[in-house]
Amino acid sequence: TMLFFGLGTFPAMMALGLSANTVSIKFRQRVFRAATLLVILFGVFTVYRGIYTLANPVVATASGVDLHCVPDPATPGE
């Protein structure tokens, strides 16, 4: 449960917090910029995938099954 998750991550979080003061400010700024860029790239990728799915109503999945994202107007009532 969440208690065990908290207990399992506590040592790593504590070590990270205590070692944060030993890292230079310049390095922290670089890591922050890289993390910001990574979040923006993931957001752009997510929006792109959503637009692609809307533009192509039938998307082939990795298992080879067609995924129909919108109803087929040729078969109303199904």
Q: How far apart are CA 64 and CA 59, in angstroms?
A: 10
Q: What is the mean pLDDT of the chain?
A: 82
DSSP assignment string, 15-63: HHHHHGGGS-HHHHHHHHHHHHHHHHHHHHHHHHHHHHHHH-SEEE-TT
What does the pLDDT average to over 46-50? 90
- Domain range summary for the chain, segments of one domain joined by +: 39-72
- pLDDT score recorded for residue 59: 60
Q: What's the confidence (pLDDT) of residue 21? A: 82
Q: Which has more confidence, 72 or 1?
A: 1
What pLDDT score does 7 carry?
A: 95
pLDDT digits (tens, 9 = 90+) for 49-62: 888 877 776 665 65
Q: How confident is the model at residue 23, as a pLDDT?
A: 85
Q: In the chain, what percentage of residues exceed pLDDT 70? A: 71
